[in-house]
Structures are given as structure tokens and as C-alpha cells.
């Protein structure tokens, strides 16, 4: 729980960065992002736990019921800032795997060749990461010679 509480103000005070504009109804917009180098938003924190950390945190902070013994499963959380609001959310393994791929900026088209998921699964996970505004253009992170003007 302390890691969640540490991640929240860290995410809030992280550098600002604009995520790519993403229209989920526009196939052309999605295709243009497939070849773009993307990486984590500066506010993003990924937390792995052997415990149901989100449910435990919600029981302490939001007054939600604590998880029952049969609900005690490992969980992965993301903590990030969207605008001025800090978000805390559990993510599933497909999104976690793709997010870990983008920890070092990468290209989605290349991820489809290396990650153990079908292209359809990866595309759905990619759309989720974009919708949540977790990724930014790599030129905002570590500019390479080709990213520099």
C-alpha cells in the first residue's frame, strides 16, 4: 500500500507531456501511430504485487470492502496523471506486457513481432494504452538524432 501512496504524488508532480492524439474511430489515426516511437508518459508508475493491491488500497482509502480470502490474487497496477487527476487502475497481463515493452521507447509494429500475443490482442491492448493516455512520442523522452529538428 505504501508503494501506491508513494506513486500518487510522484505521478502528480511528474513532468507534463502530451500524449498522441488518438481517435478510436479513425483507422488512419491508429495506423499512423503504429510506426511511431512511443514510450511511457513521465507520470506513469507500474506496480506489481503478489497481493490484490488495488482492492486493499481501495478498502483503506475509499472505504470499499476488503478482498475475501478467495479473491487474494496477484495484481499489477498503473498509477499516472491524466490532466490534473491522478489515476489508479489495475491492468491485465496483455496490457502489462505491452506497457513493459514501451518502457524503453519502441515501435508498436516491432512489438507485434516480439510479444507472445496475437496481432488482434496486441491491437486491442495498444488501443487501451492510447485511450488511457499512457504513452507519449519518444521525442519527448530521449530525443535521438532523427527526432531532433
pLDDT at 65 over 90: no
pLDDT at 26: 73
Mean pLDDT of the residues in the chain: 86
- Starting at the edge strand that comes first in sequence, how are the strands of the sheet with 135-137 ordered? 106-107, 37-40, 135-137
Q: Which of 22-31, 63-72, 91-100, 134-143 has the highest mean pLDDT?
A: 91-100
pLDDT at 1 over 90: no
Q: Rounded distance, CA 29 to CA 7, Å?
A: 32
Say which residue, 84 or 28, is predicted with more confidence. Answer: 84
Q: 56: which DSSP letter?
A: H
pLDDT at 67 over 80: yes
pLDDT at 12: 92
pLDDT at 13: 92
Q: Rounded distance, CA 83 to CA 17, Å?
A: 10
Amino acid at each position: 500500500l505504501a508503494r501506491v501512496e508513494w506513486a500518487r504524488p510522484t505521478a502528480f508532480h511528474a513532468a507534463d507531456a502530451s500524449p498522441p492524439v488518438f481517435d478510436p474511430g479513425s483507422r488512419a489515426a491508429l495506423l499512423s501511430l503504429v510506426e511511431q516511437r512511443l514510450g511511457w508518459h513521465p507520470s506513469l508508475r507500474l506496480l506489481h504485487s503478489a497481493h490484490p493491491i488495488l482492492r486493499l488500497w481501495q478498502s483503506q482509502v475509499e472505504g470499499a470492502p476488503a478482498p475475501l480470502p478467495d479473491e487474494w490474487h496477484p495484481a499489477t497496477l498503473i498509477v499516472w496523471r491524466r490532466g490534473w487527476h491522478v489515476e489508479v487502475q489495475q491492468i491485465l497481463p496483455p496490457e502489462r506486457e505491452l506497457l513493459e515493452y514501451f518502457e524503453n521507447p519502441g515501435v508498436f509494429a516491432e512489438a507485434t513481432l516480439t510479444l507472445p500475443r496475437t496481432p488482434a490482442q496486441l491491437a486491442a491492448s495498444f488501443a487501451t494504452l492510447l485511450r488511457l493516455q499512457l504513452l507519449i512520442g519518444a521525442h519527448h523522452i530521449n530525443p535521438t538524432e532523427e527526432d531532433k529538428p
